[in-house]
Every structure is written in C-alpha cells, then in structure tokens.
Amino acid sequence: MKKIDYTKYPLPRIRHHANPVLYFPLKQHKGNNFLYPPVYNKLDWSEIFADGKPPAMLDIGCGLGRFLIEMSLIHKDINILGFEVRQSAVEWIESVTSGEKLPNVKALWYSAVNGLPFIRSGSIEKVFYFFPDPWVKKRHYKRRAFSVELLAEIHRVLKSGGQLFLMTDVPEVDEFQRDVLDQYGKFSYRYVKQDQWELPVDTNHEEFCIRKNIPFIRMICKKI
C-alpha cells in the first residue's frame, strides 16, 4: 500500500472549536454569511472523483483527514467523501490529495447540518462520525451537530444494514448521542472494544487518546 509522507505538507493552525454559526443550518441565519460554507443541493461526481461515480463512504467532521485519506488508500475501488466546517483543514486535505494524485477521495467545506440532499438514498455503505466538538456547556448543546434531523439523513442515505461508526472521548457526548439514537429509533447500536472495531485505520485523535491513556468510547450503529 502507498505510504504518504505527510511532512511534505505543512499543517495549518486549526482552532479546536469552529465558529458556532457553522453548526446551524444556513436557513437559520440572517445577514452576512460570507464565512459560511457553500450549501449544495446537487453535486456532479465527475468533477469530484476520477471515475465519476458517487461515494460509498462518508466521513462527517473529517478534521485534517488522515483517516479519510488512509481509508481511500485501502479501499481503492470505492470513493470516499468527507465533510469539514474548518476551511483551512479542507484546503490542507486538498493539498495532500492533489499532491499524491489520489483519485477516490475528496473533502468538502460543508456543514452536514444542512442535510445530504446530494447523496442518493440507499447508496452509502458506512458513515463515520468521530470525536465531534463536545460543546460541554449545557447552553451550547444546541451547537452539537448530532441530531434527529442529521440521523434521519444518515439513515436515508445508508444501504439496508449500513453502518454508522461513532467515537468520542467525552462521556457526556456519548450519553447525548445515545439519547438521540433512542429518540430517533431506527438504528440498533452496540458498544465495542478494540478487537471488535471493524476499521483498519486509526484517526489522529484516536492515536492521541491511546498515547495519553485517555479513555474513549466506540459505538457501531446499524440501520434497521
């Protein structure tokens, strides 16, 4: 498998928390939205992936995209699409994918709270949602992107039996996400250990947690 020398691509400075307005749908905003990511109703896959086919996996909140990129190297026969609200992170991912000439991976500057209307129903095998901004203060819970509305979109685009993978190192976020899953009611889910985790790539934050002995929680959800 191809190995990427990421040191060739200087990392941008990334704030841990993005602008709070990015965690709300564009339709809820008033006034100047020049810092808000584009909102798409339709995408031309021939402009995004070399083979012109739609993605089979989605990474929501892909951060600096190492998981996204490494998964694309393993799964060369499918396309993988990531979403990230931090524009500088998306630009860095683009520098890597362009520099390495990777044909089957793309990160969009996009806020998934606007839905996934450009993804065909029943077309996605796996969705990843890892280590989201925790927004731990109760008055900030409304900024959490994980919602019944987002779950409904994920459920719609997943194939029958498709999977949603969740990870967090914040127990309050895990509890919040479980409550949302229970409220929506159309996913079965289970907590898993390392040996039950079905993914061949670790995220940057996952490796950080392992290195620092920080506990984190893995959950696999299945469309029912």
Assess if residue 187 is contained within a domain: yes
Residues 6+ apart with CB under 8 A from 142: 24
Instruction: Name the token pair of 105.
Output: 């991976």
**pTM for the structure as a whole:** 0.94
Residue 20 forms part of a structural domain: no
CATH code of the domain covering residue 72: 3.40.50.150
pLDDT for the residue numbered 59: 99
Q: 141-147 long-range contacts, Cβ below 8 Å, gap at least 24?
A: 141/176, 142/24, 143/20, 143/23, 143/24, 144/23, 144/173, 144/176, 145/23, 145/60, 145/61, 145/111, 145/112, 145/113, 146/176, 146/177, 146/180, 147/113, 147/180
Task: Indicate whether 83 belongs to any domain.
Answer: yes
Is 168 within 8 Å of 201 (Cβ atoms)? no
What pLDDT is attached to residue 35? Answer: 82
Give, for 108, the enclosing helix (H) or strand (E): strand 105-109
> What total number of domains does the chain contain?
1
96 assigned to some structural domain = yes
User: Residue 6 domain-assigned?
Assistant: no
Number of other CB atoms surrounding residue 100 within 10 Å? 18
Is residue 35 one of the residues assigned to a domain?
A: no
Give the largest Cα separation in the chain, rounded: 49
- Spatial CA neighbour of 58 closest among 109, 105, 121: 105
The pair of structure tokens assigned to 78 is: 């499918």
- Whether the CB-CB separation of 165 and 129 falls below 8 Å is answered with yes
Query: What pLDDT is stored for residue 142 in this prediction?
Result: 82
What is the per-residue pLDDT for 137? 79
137 in a structural domain: yes
Closest CA to 163 of 125, 120, 217, 115: 125
Q: Show the domain range for 134.
A: 49-223
- pLDDT means over runs of 10, the chain (224 residues): 94 77 84 82 98 99 97 98 96 98 98 98 99 81 90 99 98 97 98 95 95 98 98
In a domain, 80, yes or no: yes
Nearest-Å Rg of the Cα atoms of the chain is: 17
- Vertex 18 angle, CA 16 and 21, to 5°: 155
pLDDT of residue 21: 83
What residues are labeled active site? 133
